[in-house]
Amino acid sequence: MSKLVTIFGGSGFVGRYIARRMAKEGWRVRVAVRRPNEALFVKPYGVVGQVEPVFCNIRDDNSVRAALHGADAVVNCVGILAESGKNRFASIQSEGAGRIARIAAQEGVGALVHLSAIGADETSDSAYSRTKGEGEAAVLAAFPHAVILRPSVIFGPEDQFFNRFAAMVRLSPVLPVVGGDTKFQPVFVDDVAQAAVAGVTGRAAPGIYELGGPDVESFRALMQMLLRVIERRKTIVDVPLGVAKLMATALDLGQTLTLGLLANGTLTRDQVKNLARDNVVTPGAKGLADLGIQPTAIEAVLPEYLWSFRPSGQYSAIKASAKNLRKT
């Protein structure tokens, strides 16, 4: 019988790519998510019965144990960018990560891959980065031979980075940018998935890998690239960090006063802290090259999924060609 991998968050942005690749590798894939009915789209990644979504709440020991029962390997892709309801940074990224590793070790799981983030640091003043660091420590304490992946900003068709700003551009006369000089090293989602597969299959040695693409650009330069790809002219407005903190404080307060009814999906104080720091691979750190993976350039992929944000959508190339015909 083929081996079984449990992927926590396997229907999410990164998890679905890992699930697809693991199915192609011939593994049975158990996709552990909070809402299995919303994850049915993963089933066609393999043959009938090869990929199955199951319910799991990573805040509960019994739920995690059931999802891990009989698994040969585990991948943890669960993480949040902002807190809401019971989903707190500590409960998901610190305690949840530690729970998965601890129970995986108890269940005799052979391999564990944990998705963290560049900037993970137990001493950080950012709750996001601090709990990512705490999660790594908890994972390694319970599962010393784990593979930990620290990607920079991840891009791809379902991302919440380029898609989010492209949608903003379509509706706003200007494009506000917080931390315009902050450096990023965006990494393609399928490159991250390949790294995870290498960890599961044993092709990657245990340890920490920082994943970044071939391009290191400022936040402002990435937005300029975005505007070129979607063929729109907008003024990029640099928002000073002090002003951004005031805006984020007001938005966070609104979420608190309404008991989460008005969720702050725009900008949080914690995000402002992270936008003030470069998000690039540390010199000398193990990365994609050590895994035999050639990183994918941003501009090789962006046009493939951002075309819908162009003024004429999929017809932009046809209209441009028609204009050239009229000129001749």
In a domain, 137, yes or no: yes
Contacts 24+ apart (CB under 8 A), 298-301: 298/155, 298/186, 298/188, 298/213, 298/215, 298/217, 298/222, 298/225, 299/225, 299/229, 301/155, 301/156, 301/188
On average, the pLDDT of the chain sits at: 95
In a domain, 67, yes or no: yes
In a domain, 313, yes or no: no
- Of the pLDDT bands very low, low, confident and very high (cuts 50, 70, 90), residue 319 is low
> Per-residue pLDDT tens for 285-299?
999 999 999 999 999
In a domain, 324, yes or no: no
* CATH code of residue 84: 3.40.50.720
Q: What is the pLDDT of residue 315?
A: 65
In a domain, 35, yes or no: yes
Residue 99 has pLDDT above 70, yes or no: yes
Lowest-confidence pick of 203-217, 233-247, 251-265, 278-292? 251-265
Residue 328 has pLDDT above 60, yes or no: no
What tokens does 308 get? 């819908």
Range of the domain at 98: 4-158+186-214+278-294
Q: What is the mean pLDDT of residues 59-71?
A: 98
pTM of the predicted model as reported, rounded to 2 decimal places: 0.94
In a domain, 224, yes or no: no
Q: What is the pLDDT of residue 10?
A: 97
> Per-residue pLDDT tens for 120-135?
999 999 999 999 999 9
Residues 161 and 123: beta-carbon distance below 8 Å:
no
Tell me which residue of 111, 96, 31 sits closest to 61, measured CA to CA. 96
Whole-angstrom Cα distance, residue 161 to residue 309?
A: 14
Q: How far apart are the first and last CA of the chain?
A: 65
In a domain, 311, yes or no: no
> Per-residue pLDDT tens for 36-47?
999 999 999 999
> How many distinct structural domains can be found in the chain?
1
In a domain, 251, yes or no: no
